[in-house]
């Protein structure tokens, strides 16, 4: 579909967009598009839980390593108090 577009076609499309939106609104349009893409990528990416690794040296010289996974509470999962 886009295989026949050349540099001139893109230039004409850019001029039409410039006429439609005006020069002052183009940076705001690009910024909102970038924010939308950032939000979309954040929503699509799998949730990563931060892990914290702690190494403890025991009195006998041996080491113990523990990994702690930090989870965040889902605000929608909390039950709201109800009056009886």
Is 48 contained in some domain?
yes
User: Which pLDDT belongs to residue 36?
Assistant: 92
Is 28 contained in some domain?
yes
Is 58 contained in some domain?
yes
Is 40 contained in some domain?
yes
Extract the runs of DSSP E, i.e. beta strands, from the chain.
51-57, 63-69
Please state, in angstroms and rounded to a whole number, the distance separating the CA atoms of residues 41 and 49. 17
Average pLDDT over residues 14-28: 84
Average pLDDT over residues 57-64: 75
pLDDT tens column, 23-42? 888 888 888 989 999 998 88
Q: Which residue range is the domain that position 14 belongs to?
A: 1-70
Is 38 contained in some domain?
yes
Is 55 contained in some domain?
yes
SS3 79: coil
Is 82 contained in some domain?
no
Q: Assess contact for 36 and 20: CB atoms under 8 A.
A: no
Does residue 20 have a pLDDT over 70? yes
pTM over 0.85: no
């Amino acid at each position: 579909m886009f295989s026949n577009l050349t540099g001139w076609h893109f230039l004409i499309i850019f001029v039409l967009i410039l006429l439609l939106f005006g020069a002052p609104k183009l940076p705001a349009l690009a910024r909102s598009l970038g924010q939308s893409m950032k939000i979309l990528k954040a929503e699509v990416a799998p949730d990563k839980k931060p892990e914290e690794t702690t190494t403890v040296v025991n009195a006998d010289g041996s080491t113990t390593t523990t990994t702690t996974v930090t989870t965040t509470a889902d605000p929608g999962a909390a039950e709201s108090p109800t009056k009886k």
